[in-house]
Amino acid sequence: MTSSNTPFQIVPLQNEIDFESNNEIIQELPINEQLDPNGSYIIRSSSYSDINNMAYNAFNNDFTSMWECNYKNNESYDGMTMNYPAYKQSPYSKSFPSNYQGGGMDENTFTTNVGSDEQYYEIKGEWLEISLPYQVYLQEYYLATPVFANNNNFPRKFMLVGKNEDSTNETWSLLDNQQTKDTATNGQVFRNFHVNSPDKYSTFRLIILQMPVGFDRVRISMLKLIGTPLLYTLTDEEKEMKKQKLNQDKKVKNRKRNTNNMEGMDNCRQVKGMLRESENGPVVDTFVNLKRGVLTLTYPSIDSFNGIIEEHEMEDEDIVYTNSKEHKETNPNIIDYNQLGMITGFLAVIAGGLVIYKITRNTK
């Protein structure tokens, strides 16, 4: 057995101990200061097909054995030992989707109440259950189905529920709810699912609501449960380290957001332009990179531009327009309304920088 906070395998049992019946008292498991896993293990199922496919097989470390629910025209049905009537119909419809429909009578149609005593849902489906001699926080479980006629018979919809009383209790708490996609069409299927159990439970039940198309019954070769008797708690030293790290992260984030200063605004003011000779005389072009290309802003004179003019001069034919595939003659004094928002924002930043710059110089 591992330390108290470390997840361990609940079932199949450790030390290669196998169940040989649905009710067993186990005394050979290792003990630690937090948990004694020895005691009475009680395994149940809604139904079973025969004595070779009983529920306890699903909790052993053996993929060749399985639990199989009852089904229509089951030649192995024994009314003396099975506490439900023979099935008059297949428990699952086999159609798309292959939903649970019961065995044709109220006595062989199985329902589990999931929720609370005040409000619960009646969930119908064949089920598989184990009661432990201790309570545990469930963290993970694995589900395996056997190879059958070279087809995938992994359940499509199922629930995992838990409680702390025996099976006569009215309601169960929902731990996990799955609706799986189609997996491999053949071979062994073995999948795991994570659980965040807020409470400790001693009894766990798997409810199968829907099977793949063409399957009228459930077959489970293994249900592996992983859990811990205690949730992990931080030491005082770990709590202090976590607090310091959070404070440090906040300072870093605040530094990144703090761009509203004179240095930043001064950088925004340093807009660069290119001098170009046009038909109307010298103008200054600035370029803004956009997702769809480059936006060209033209100042009609050198005096109207307050940025930095590059020494390189361009002629009209030097300008390359990447906004469209074909160049269109446009009036530099007219702005495309599709780009008006972006241009306005750009000019606002420049204007803001100039205002703050002038205020700063006047205060000096």
Q: Which sequence spans correspond to the domains of the chain?
A: 39-228
Cα gap 104→106, rounded to integer Å: 7
pLDDT for 265 beyond 50: no
Cα gap 168→129, rounded to integer Å: 13
pLDDT at 223: 99
Strands 98-99 and 111-115: unpaired
Pick the more confident residue, 298 or 18: 18
Tens digits of residue pLDDT in 53-64: 999 999 999 999
Pick the more confident residue, 107 or 354: 107
Tens digits of residue pLDDT in 172-226: 999 999 998 765 556 678 899 999 898 999 999 999 999 999 999 999 999 999 9
pLDDT at 186: 61
Cα gap 146→66, rounded to integer Å: 7
DSSP codes of every residue in 284-302: EEEEEEETTEEEEEEESSS
Token representation of residue 13: 């049992």
Cα gap 103→91, rounded to integer Å: 5
- CB-based burial label for 232 (10 Å; 0-12, 13-18, 19+): exposed
pLDDT at 170: 79
pLDDT classification of 266: cutoffs 50, 70, 90: very low
Query: Residue 86 carries which DSSP code?
Result: P
pLDDT at 283: 76
pLDDT at 357: 56
Pick the more confident residue, 142 or 180: 142
Model pTM score: 0.64
pLDDT classification of 319: cutoffs 50, 70, 90: very low
Pick the more confident residue, 290 or 87: 87
Tens digits of residue pLDDT in 26-80: 999 999 888 999 999 999 999 999 999 999 999 999 999 999 999 999 999 999 9
Query: Residues 351-355: what's their mean pLDDT?
Result: 61
Cα gap 290→323, rounded to integer Å: 9
Average pLDDT value for the chain: 79
* b/e burial code for range 251-281 (CB count within 10 A of at least 16 → b): eeeeeeeeeeeeeebeebbebebbbbeeeee
Cα gap 175→58, rounded to integer Å: 19
pLDDT for 14 beyond 90: yes
pLDDT at 355: 53
Cα gap 305→331, rounded to integer Å: 18
With vertex at residue 169, the alpha carbon angle to CA 166 and CA 170, rounded to the nearest 5 degrees, is: 155
Q: 74-78, 155-159, 212-216, 324-328: lowest mean pLDDT where?
A: 324-328
Pick the more confident residue, 270 or 145: 145
pLDDT classification of 126: cutoffs 50, 70, 90: very high
pLDDT for 268 beyond 60: no
pLDDT at 242: 65
Pick the more confident residue, 103 or 119: 103
Dihedral angle, C-alpha 104, 106, 108, 111, nearest 10 °: 120
Pick the more confident residue, 258 or 100: 100
Which residue is listed with tokens 């006629």? 149
pLDDT for 348 beyond 70: no
- Domain 39-228 indexed as CATH 2.60.120.260: yes
Pick the more confident residue, 20 or 32: 20
Bridge partners of residue 191, in order along the sequence: 143
Tens digits of residue pLDDT in 331-342: 444 444 445 555
Determine which helix (DSSP H) or strand (DSSP E) holds 250, and give its type and residue range: helix 236-257
Cα gap 238→245, rounded to integer Å: 11
Query: Residues 234-243: what's their mean pLDDT?
Result: 69
Phi/psi for 77 (5° steps) reads -65, 130
- CB-based burial label for 78 (10 Å; 0-12, 13-18, 19+): exposed
